[in-house]
Structure formats: C-alpha cells, structure tokens
C-alpha cells in the first residue's frame, strides 16, 4: 500500500529478488527527434495511451533531471534535444499485468533507457518509482530492499542492494504460469482499496513487516534456505489474507494456484523440512524458490501433478 499515491511512497519497506535477464526481461527502445510532434509509447507491439499519469510522471521527472544537469554543467543553456518528444517501444517476454512484476520490469527499463537518451546520470530510484514503486528495486540485481523512507518528499524512499546476484549461486527460481490473462483488479487499485479498508494491512505494515524484513535479510546473508522459505511463504499467505480482508475482498489466486500451494507443502512434509517455497504477487502465477539439488525432483512433482493434458502443453 501507499502513504502517498502521487509520489508512490509505500507504507512499509519491502524486499525482492531480481531475476536473470536471460530468462525474463523487458526490452525497451527510446528515440527522441525534433520531427516528433508528440510523445508516443508502444507495449508489446500495441500503442498505449501516453497520457497515463504514472507514465507522464516518469517522463516529467527524467526531463527535470536532464534540465537540471544541463543548467548545472557550465551555465550554458541546455541542448534543444531536451524539448524533443520521445517515442518508446517496450516488449516483455513474459505475461503482462498477470502478477509477474511486468510493471516493475517495464518502468525500471524505461527509467534506465530514458536516462541514456537524455544524458541523466546517478540514482534513478525516484524516476522508476514514479512509474511503479517496485521498479526502483528492479534497477538493481540480486536481493534488493526498497526503504519506505520517512520524508514527505520521498527523497529517502530509495532501493538498496542487500546482496549481489552472485551471493547465492545455488538458489533457483521456477515460474509456474497459471494464467497469462490480464488480472481483473490492478495492483494499484487493489492496494489503495486495501489501505482504505483493511485493518490487517495496517497491522502487517506496522508490526509484522519490520520484523520479517530484518529476519529475511539475515536469512539471505547467511544463505539460510529453511528460514528464507518459511518467511517467503508466510509473507505471501499474509498478503493474500490482506486482499481477502479488503472490502470488497480481492482474490488474485485461483484453484490451480491453491493446488500449487498444497503441492509445495506436501513436498516439504515428505522431506521433513522446507526445500521449496512459493510466493504469489497480485496474480495467480506462482514463483517458486528452491536450491539446485532439489530443482529436478520438484519439477518432476509439478509435471506429475499437472500432466500435459491438464496444463495445455
């Protein structure tokens, strides 16, 4: 949830892991020209409304930084190119708006690309955050914390890396795509309704998350998978409990999602410890964490539980 919807400032800090771009990625191209008469954007080959408030906020912020940089260099006027319109084309190689962080990847990529085009250097957290809060985390590899910050202007609400992508080489991530359909309730709309109506969300943000974040950071630093797995699953479950505590309730999971949850718990019970963890964002698709020595066995369990005739292969 957000404490400031306009500046995209969260009510609690959060942690994520950035996936390798060889598997899941957003590819964005941006071009500026004096011949362009307006800003335009295409997503997955389809032109989108460029007037979206968050997209406009991102463009305004990058242009403000470019103008500021131009004025600060030697006192000369900024180059005319700062007034040029931009055309942006962005493509995801994974389902969009289906709970797989497409907005985080998209706005992180957009912020970086626009910075290259307009010659902006330095921390791009605020630019990316204006588009999607989670995008400020996606600017970094490895494990990343987005600090909620305390300042009203959001200057201290930034992302910082907890551990680099090389820190835990045995860790594996498996994405189980349950549905590629666009979700009925957007993350932004859902979160705002939760902030307004869910007492559980307030308790979670003020009491549960700070302690969980500290413990999760320890688990990552010590490569404690058992602790990491339990915290990951509990946090996912509580997030979706908060969605159900929202009024009217929001349900992102479906029956297949719940079957995956039960499969993971049966698998872990069979082994007597947490060897696999699930997490679901605002969508039905599962992100599975495990270690390299467990991956093949769990994939076999998934194939057994969801044979080709029922999973569309």
pLDDT for residue 157 is more than 60: yes
Task: Give me the mean pLDDT over the 16-30 stretch.
Answer: 90
The domain 171-311 having CATH identifier 3.40.190.10: the answer here is no
CA atoms within 13 A on the CB side of 174: 22
Task: Give me the mean pLDDT over the 279-303 stretch.
Answer: 97
Write down the pTM of the prediction: 0.88
CA atoms within 13 A on the CB side of 307: 2
Tens-digit pLDDT profile for residues 63-116: 999 988 766 666 666 666 888 999 999 999 877 766 677 888 999 999 999 999
Tell which residue, 142, 138, 83, has the closest CA to residue 110: 138
pLDDT-above-90 percentage for the chain: 76
Q: Helical H runs in 96-208?
A: 102-118, 125-131, 135-138, 187-197, 199-203
Which pLDDT does position 42 carry in this prediction? 97
Mean pLDDT of the chain: 91
Residue boundaries of the structural domains of the chain: 2-163, 171-311
Query: CATH assignment of 2-163?
Result: 3.30.230.10
| Strand segments (E) across 186-267 | none
Say if residues 286 and 233 touch (Cβ distance below 8 Å): no
Which pLDDT does position 312 carry in this prediction? 53
DSSP letter string, 90-114: EEESS-SSSSS-HHHHHHHHHHHHH
Which pLDDT does position 49 carry in this prediction? 94
Q: Is the peptide bond before 248 cis (omega within 30 degrees of 0)?
A: yes
């Amino acid at each position: 949830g957000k404490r400031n919807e306009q500046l995209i400032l969260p009510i609690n800090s959060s942690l994520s892991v950035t996936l390798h771009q060889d598997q899941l990625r957003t590819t964005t191209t941006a071009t500026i020209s004096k011949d362009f008469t307006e800003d335009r954007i295409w997503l997955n080959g389809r032109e989108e409304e460029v007037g979206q408030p968050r997209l406009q906020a991102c463009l305004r912020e990058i242009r403000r930084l470019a103008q500021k940089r131009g004025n600060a260099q030697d006192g000369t006027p900024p180059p005319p190119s700062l007034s040029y319109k931009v055309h942006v084309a962005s493509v995801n190689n994974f389902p969009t708006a289906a709970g797989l962080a497409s907005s985080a990847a998209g706005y992180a990529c957009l912020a970086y690309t626009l910075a290259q085009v307009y010659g902006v250097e330095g921390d791009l957290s605020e630019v990316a955050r204006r588009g999607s809060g989670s995008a400020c985390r996606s600017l970094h590899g490895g494990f990343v914390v987005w600090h909620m910050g305390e300042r009203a202007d959001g200057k201290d609400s930034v992302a910082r890396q907890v551990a680099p992508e090389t820190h835990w080489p045995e860790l594996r991530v498996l994405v189980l795509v349950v549905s590629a359909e666009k979700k009925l309730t957007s993350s932004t709309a859902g979160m705002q309704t939760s902030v307004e109506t869910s007492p559980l969300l307030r308790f979670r943000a003020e009491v549960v998350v700070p302690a969980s974040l500290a413990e999760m950071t320890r688990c990552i630093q010590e490569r404690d998978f058992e602790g990491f797995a339990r915290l990951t699953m509990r946090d996912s479950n509580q997030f979706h409990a908060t969605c159900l505590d929202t009024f009217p309730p929001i349900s992102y999971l479906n029956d297949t999602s719940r079957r995956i949850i039960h499969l993971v718990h049966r698998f872990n019970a069979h082994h007597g410890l947490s060897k696999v963890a699930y997490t679901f964002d605002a969508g039905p698709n599962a992100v599975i964490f495990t270690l390299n020595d467990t991956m093949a066995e769990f994939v076999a369990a998934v194939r057994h539980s969801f044979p080709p005739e029922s999973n569309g292969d």
